Amino acid sequence: MTKEKDNKKNLLSRRNFLKGMSKGAVTAAVIPTSITSAETRKTIPDEKGGVDKGVVNLAVNSKSYKIEVEARETLADTLRKRLNLTGTKILCNYGSCGGCTVLLEGVPIYSCMTLTMDVNNRKITTIEGLESNGKLHPIQEAFIEKDGMQCGFCTPGQIMAAAALLAKNPNPNLEEVKYGMSGNLCRCGAYPKIFDSVLSAAKEGRR
């Protein structure tokens, strides 16, 4: 086999591997939705004939973007480095903390474990997309009121998970809040106030 064919084979194997990783992480985050959109993806061969880039259409916070991304690029990197939406944080960067949580059509996902190519033509909401007309989302207000944070690094991910939880279950009890937020870790241990913030937002019907 020629070196060129070897390179191409390695690229495709790596991509399949990453796709598998991405789907696995999505499942771990209790997400039932398939995010594969290969049928609509347009790939571009690189100089050596390999396929490592593609043009994707992203709908982020009600704005449309058409950008070229590398096959290995994660949604977290695209949001932060390409779209300048730095509210989404990258903490562990391997799918264990939930700090990078965003909503994919209303479902919380780990954006550090999601390939941008796999969310082609899908609707994404980040922490920046929660406010409306310059006014914070009621869940954001509840986190401020109840002091639901310490260092704040995990907070955007916590708030996105809370928004998804309350959209699905408007009146959760404490156990349901703990379960619903269990994909999001807080290394400061601010859990009591985080849970209190979510319960407060639910109690006030503020979601």
Residues that bind ligand FES (CB under 6 A): 90-93, 95-100, 110, 112, 149-154, 186-188, 190
CB of 115 to ligand FES, least distance (A): 13
Smallest separation, CB 184 to ligand FES (Å): 9
Q: Which is nearer to ligand FES, 15 or 80 (CB)?
A: 80
User: With respect to ligand FES, which residue has the nearer C-beta, 12 or 21?
Assistant: 21
Q: How far is CA 63 from CA 59, 83, 100, 123, in A?
A: 5, 11, 20, 9
CB of 29 to ligand FES, least distance (A): 8
Minimum gap (Å) between residue 141 Cβ and ligand FES: 17
Give the nearer residue to ligand FES in terms of CB position, either 67 or 90. Answer: 90
> Helix crossing, 191-203 with 138-145: angle to 10°?
130
Q: How distant, in Å, are the alpha carbons of 1, 4, 50, 68, 113 from that of 10?
A: 12, 10, 9, 21, 21
SS3 state at 112: helix
Closer Cβ to ligand FES, 11 or 190, answer by number: 190
* Tokens 């937020």 sit on residue: 181
By three-state DSSP, how is residue 120 classified? coil
